[in-house]
Amino acid sequence: MAVAPPVAVPRVEAARAAGSTLARVAKYAVVRLVALLITVVVGVYLTILVANMGGYVDQLRRAQIREGVGLMALADPEWAMLTDQDRRERIERLVALEEERLGLGQPFLVRSFTYLANALTLNLGRAEQIMSDSGSRQVRLILLERLPATLYLFATGQLLLFFASIFVALHLSQRYGSFLDRLMVALAPTSAAPGWFYGIFLILIFAGLLRVLPFGGMVATPPPPDKLGYALSLLKHLILPVTAIVISAIFLQVYYWRTFFLIYSREDYVEMAKAKGLPSTLIERRYILRPTLPAIVTSFALTLIGLWTGAIVLETIFNWPGLGRLLYRAIGAYDTPVIVGSVVIYAYLLALTVFVLDILYAILDPRVRVEGRST
């Protein structure tokens, strides 16, 4: 993309130019879509290869199946009474059944393309090892079941963090060098610690010591039977993990956005606006916020799709049934359909976001145009 200066054109030429622009935009969109699709295909296939260690996971699985069947034999009081032949036969049958269940009869290379085709068509299929909480092997259900819990926590946390940091940063950018500004800068390094680190302290203080907030989980146990009670309980359980998310990143985010806004607030047109005596809220909104909007929107969009991934450790310490823990379990269990399912959805979301952002940029920023070949 290039920035083209606006020029005045006659009506016919304008119509021709409009048609030409549309064609260029369409062509650009198609090229972008194809490029993004290729990126998704490559990304997902690499995920399949990595999740299966290039096919080595099959060996691990086969060995684990045999070991598991062998251990079961030890626990069987009838085992000792079987003949050698019977023992062999029984083990081989059990092993064959489990290998069949996991589809190990097919070579990995063939399976890898089946995984890819299924993933790209969003036919997420059945998990191999793990189950949804309510006992389904459908990857779709496994992921969907965890989605609300993930959204409750991370949407609340990340959106709070995002908007709070934007508004505080905007405020600080107009008060450069103030005590609050210096305090934020000084506190920025505290964001080096992840959310779960703060989470542990918050649990110890508010749950262990003061006993005013729960240790973890999503709702009280047993969960309140009525919807209002459930919602209030959910809110109460959100306080600590959301606080951990916010504390762990707010200072750095504020620092980042405040620096970003400061650059824009030193522009000549901002100085001119100040010299004209325009109110500071108007200056912030029209002269600082608007030109920075593409960056904010990009950040916001990426924040939104980032919700899909959850956070493994934070979810673990707060016993939060989110997608992060699910993905962690799936990786540990080499459950390719679940890993690929999660990744392909993220990949599609990311590709779509990037594509939409390209379009949005053109709408939001008048300086952005699709470059034409003819002059």
Partner 1 sequence: MSSGRMAKRLVSLILLVAFVAALPMAAAAQTVRRGAWVDEVVAVEERDSAAAITRLEAGDIQVFASGLASPDLFRRVTASAVLGYERAYGLFTELTFNPAGPDLPDGRLNPFAVPALREAMNWLVDRDYIVKEIHGGLAAARYLPINTAFPDYARLADVARVLERRYAHDPARARQVFDAEMGKLGATRVGGKWQYKGKPVEITVLIRTEDERRQIGDYVAGLLEGLGFTVERRYATAAEASPLWYSGKPEEGKWHVYTGGWISTVISRDQAANFDYFYTKRGLPSPLWQAYKPAAEFDTVSERLGRREFASMDERKELFAKALELAMKDSVRVWLVERVSFYPRRQEVRLAADLAGGIAGAYLWPHTIRVGDQVGGTLRIAQPSMLTEPWNPIAGSNWIFDMMMIRATADYPTMFDPHTGLHWPQRLERAEVYIKQGLPVGRTLDWVSLTFVTENKVPESAWVDWDAKAQRFITVGEKHPQGLTANRKVVVRYPRELFREVRWHDGSLFSVADVVMSIIMTFDRAKEDSAIFDPAAKPAFDSFQRHFRGVRITSFDPLVIEYYSDLYYLDAEWNAFTAAWFAWPYYAQGPAPWQVMALGIFAERNKQLAFSSAQAKKLDVEWMNLIAGPSLRILSSQLGMALNQRYIPYEPTMRLFISRREALTRWLNLNRWYWNMGHFWVGNGPFFLEKVFPVEKVVQLRRFADFPDPADKWARFQAPLVASADVSGPARVTAGQAATFDVRVNHPLGAYAVRDMQEVKFLLFDARGELALQGPATAVRDGLWRVSLTGTQTGQLPAGATRLEVVVVPKLVSIPTFASLDVVVGK
- The residues of the shown chain that bind partner 1, judged by CB under 8 A, are 59-60, 62-64, 66-67, 70, 73-82, 84, 86-88, 90-94, 97-98, 100-101, 126, 131-138, 141, 145-146, 148-149, 203-204, 207-208, 211, 214-219, 221-223, 316-317, 319, 321, 334
Shortest Cβ distance from residue 122 to partner 1 (Å)?
Answer: 18
Shortest Cβ distance from residue 116 to partner 1 (Å)?
Answer: 20
C-alpha angle with apex 244: 247 to 233, nearest 5 degrees? Answer: 130
The type of residue at 192 is A
Q: What backbone torsions phi and psi does residue 84 show, to the nearest 5 degrees? A: -55, -50
Query: What does each C-alpha distance from 114 to 20, 49, 108, 346 come to in angstroms?
Result: 41, 12, 10, 19
Shortest Cβ distance from residue 92 to partner 1 (Å)?
Answer: 7
The type of residue at 296 is I
Please say which residue, 107 or 189, places its beta carbon nearer to partner 1. 107
Q: What is the DSSP letter of 210?
A: S
Whether 160 and 246 have beta carbons less than 8 Å apart is answered as: yes
Shortest Cβ distance from residue 76 to partner 1 (Å)?
Answer: 8
Q: What is the DSSP letter of 55?
A: G
Please say which residue, 80 or 228, places its beta carbon nearer to partner 1. 80
The pair of structure tokens assigned to 175 is 């008060």
Please say which residue, 141 or 159, places its beta carbon nearer to partner 1. 141
Please say which residue, 138 or 309, places its beta carbon nearer to partner 1. 138
Long-range CB pairs of 164-168 (<8 Å, 24+ gap) are: 164/246, 164/250, 165/249, 165/250, 165/253, 165/254, 165/256, 165/257, 166/257, 166/296, 168/250, 168/254, 168/258
The pair of structure tokens assigned to 155 is 């949407």
Please say which residue, 208 or 366, places its beta carbon nearer to partner 1. 208
Please say which residue, 258 or 325, places its beta carbon nearer to partner 1. 325
Distance CA 59, CA 291 (A): 55
Shortest Cβ distance from residue 176 to partner 1 (Å)?
Answer: 43
Shortest Cβ distance from residue 107 to partner 1 (Å)?
Answer: 17
Query: What does each C-alpha distance from 28 to 15, 22, 352 come to in angstroms?
Result: 19, 10, 15
Please say which residue, 240 or 273, places its beta carbon nearer to partner 1. 240
Shortest Cβ distance from residue 70 to partner 1 (Å)?
Answer: 5
The type of residue at 349 is L
SS3 175: coil
Shortest Cβ distance from residue 323 to partner 1 (Å)?
Answer: 12
Whether 150 and 346 have beta carbons less than 8 Å apart is answered as: no
Please say which residue, 71 or 275, places its beta carbon nearer to partner 1. 71
The pair of structure tokens assigned to 366 is 């008048």
Scanning the structure block, which residue is given the tokens 């259900």?
A: 141
